[in-house]
Structure 1
C-alpha cells in the first residue's frame, strides 16, 4: 500500500511538472477560427504617437494587413505556441514584395517589415501550424487580402477616406453586403480624441480560406459616427 501511494504521488508530480508543456502543445494544435484583421494606415498615423513609414517608402493609401489570428469561440486565443519554430524570412522570399505592399509596417523605428512579420508569425502563426506552415500562413493571409478589398467596398458605398464622419452601421452594412458576412469595427482616437475607423475584423475558418460568421466579437466599441481620415 505504501509503495502504491509513492507511485501515485510520483505520477502526480510528473503530471504537474509537464502539464504546461502539454497545454502549450495542445494550444498549438487547437483553435476554432481566425480573425483576419486589416488596418487603415491613416488612423494608425493620426494619433499622438504618430507612425514611421517603412524603409521601402510610404505605403499606398489602402487598408493593410495587421494579421491572421487563431481564436477560440470563448473569446480567448492561443499565442506563442511553438518557441522551436522561429520566423525565417528565407522561407517566404517569393512573398516579400507582396508583403511589403499588402502587409506594411508603420511602427517606429522604421524597418523593412521583417520585425513585424516575425512578431505576427511567432505570436499568432505558430498557433496554426497544425494546418499552416510558415509559408502557407503568409500566403493564405495575402490571399485573404486579395479577396477582401475593403477600400473598394467602402468607396462603392460612398464611404471615403476624406476626413468625413460615417456611421458605424453604414460601414458594417457595406462590408456585409459585399462579402456576405458581418465585420467587427475597431476604432482608435486622433490627437483631438475623435474616434476614427482603425481596424476591420473578419472571421475565417480553420483552413484560412473561407469567410464565416464570427462566433464571437472582440471587446470594445466605437461612437455611432466615426472619422475616416485620409492617408
Structure 2
C-alpha cells in the first residue's frame, strides 16, 4: 500500500508539472489604456515632460475568468511557463519607436525600459508568448493603435472639465464596439470626491494574437463603485503641459484644486 501511495503522489506531481508547462489557465487578455493627465493632475511636476496627450498602454494582462489578473511568474509559486525569456529590452529594438510613443513610463524617475521589464515580469511571462516578448508587446501595440479601440472615440466624449455619468460612458462603449469595457477610476484631487477616469480596459478572448473582443466581467473597478449614483460621475481632464521649469499650463487645474 505504501508503494501505491508513493506512485499516486508521483502521478499528482507529474500532472502538476504538465499543467505548469502548458502555461497559465487564463481565459482572456485585458488591454489597459490609461489617461496620463489623470495620473499627473495632482502633482504635474512629478511626471515627465511632455505629458502624453493620448491614451497610453499600461499593459496587456492575462486574466482569469472572474476578472482577476494571473499572478506574476514565480518559479516556485506560479511556474506558469517554463524558462520564460529575460533581458527583453534588446529584443524590442524593432518596435522601440512605437513603444516609446504608446507605452511610455509617465512618472519622473521611471524609465521606459524599466516599465517594459516590469510589465513583462508581472504579465508577459505568464502570457502565451513566454519566449517571445517581441510578439507579446507587438500584439498589445497593434490593439492599442487600432482606431476601433480609440478610447475617446468609443467613450463618445472629449477631455474637458465636464463630469460624465460612468454608466452612460460604459453604454457608449457597448454601443460603439459591441462589448462592455472596464472603467478604472482615480480620485486625485484632495478635498473632493470627484472621480477621474484613470484607465479604460478592453477584454479580448485568449488567442494568438488576441483579437476577438468580449465583455469584461466587471464593467468598473471598486473605486468607481465607491461613489453611489447619481454622483457616480467621472472627468477626463484636459491634457496638461509642463515646461523645463515645471510651470504648469492648464487653465482648469487651479479651479479643480
TM-score interval, smaller chain? 0.7 to 0.9
Name the SS of the counterpart of 2:175 in structure 1: helix
Give runs of aligned pairs for residues 100-119 of structure 1, distance below 5 A: 100-111=100-111, 113-119=112-118
How many residues were matched structurally? 219
Where does the alignment leave 5 or more consecutive residues of structure 1 unmatched?
none
Give runs of aligned pairs for residues 149-188 of structure 1, distance below 5 A: 149-154=150-155, 157=156, 159-188=157-186
- Equivalent-residue separation in structure 2 for 1:118 and 1:219 (angstroms): 25
Give runs of aligned pairs for residues 14-163 of structure 1, distance below 5 A: 24-26=20-22, 28-47=23-42, 51-53=46-48, 57-78=49-70, 79-80=72-73, 81-82=80-81, 84-111=84-111, 113-129=112-128, 133-147=132-146, 148-154=149-155, 157=156, 159-163=157-161
Aligned to 1:228: 236
- Equivalent-residue separation in structure 1 for 2:20 and 2:220 (angstroms): 23
What is the CA-CA distance between 1:73 and the residue it aligns to?
0.9
What is the CA-CA distance between 1:25 and the residue it aligns to?
3.7
Instruction: Flag the 1:218–1:225 CA change in 2: closer, same or farther, 3 A.
Output: closer
Are 1:41 and 1:64, in contact at CA under 8 Å, matched by a contact in 2?
yes
Are 1:29 and 1:130, in contact at CA under 8 Å, matched by a contact in 2?
no
- Equivalent-residue separation in structure 1 for 2:166 and 2:221 (angstroms): 15
Compute the TM-score of the two structures, normalised by the length of structure 1. 0.81
Name the SS of the counterpart of 2:145 in structure 1: helix
Alpha-carbon RMSD across the aligned residues, in angstroms, is 2.8
Name the SS of the counterpart of 1:230 in structure 2: coil
Where does the alignment leave 5 or more consecutive residues of structure 2 unmatched?
74-79, 240-257
Aligned to 2:214: 212
